[in-house]
Amino acid sequence: MEDLLMNSLISHYNLTAPTITNWFIQTTATYFEIEDTNAEISLDVTKGSGTGKFKNQDALNIRVFNYDKFITSIPNEPFKHCRKRCDFLLDSRNHRYLILGEIKDRRILDENARENVRMIAKNQLLSSLKTLLEVPEIDSHSTHKDIKRCCYFNKQSSSPATLTATTAFNRLPNFYTDGFQMSNPEIEAYGFDFYEYTGEQTMTLMN
pLDDT tens-digit profile of 70-126? Answer: 999 999 999 999 999 999 999 999 999 999 999 988 666 666 767 788 899 999 999
pLDDT tens-digit profile of 183-192? Answer: 999 999 999 9
pTM of the model: 0.89
Separation of alpha carbons 60 and 84, rounded Å: 29
pLDDT at 133 over 60: yes
Identify the CA nearest to 182 among candidates 200, 158, 156, 206. Answer: 158
**Burial category of 190 from C-beta neighbours within 10 Å (exposed 0-12, middle 13-18, buried 19 and up):** middle
Is the CB of residue 1 less than 8 Å from the CB of residue 65? yes
- The predicted pLDDT at position 93 comes to 92
pLDDT tens-digit profile of 156-185? Answer: 876 665 554 444 444 554 556 789 999 999
Provide the mean pLDDT of the chain: 90
At 83, is the secondary structure helix, strand, or coil? coil
Is the CB of residue 205 less than 8 Å from the CB of residue 57? yes
CA angle in degrees (0–180, nearest 5) for 80-187-114:
80
Would you tell me how many other CB atoms lie within 10 Å of the CB of residue 56?
21
- The predicted pLDDT at position 168 comes to 43
Strands 193-198, 147-154: pairing is parallel
Tell me which H or E stretch contains 34: strand 31-37
Separation of alpha carbons 37 and 49, rounded Å: 12
At 181, is the secondary structure helix, strand, or coil? strand
DSSP state of 165: G
Separation of alpha carbons 6 and 22, rounded Å: 14
pLDDT tens-digit profile of 31-73? Answer: 999 999 988 999 999 999 999 999 999 999 999 999 999 999 9
**Burial category of 123 from C-beta neighbours within 10 Å (exposed 0-12, middle 13-18, buried 19 and up):** middle
Q: Where are the alpha helices (DSSP H) in the chain?
A: 2-3, 10-12, 67-73, 77-80, 111-133, 136-143, 185-188
> How far does CA 16 lie from the centroid of its chain?
25
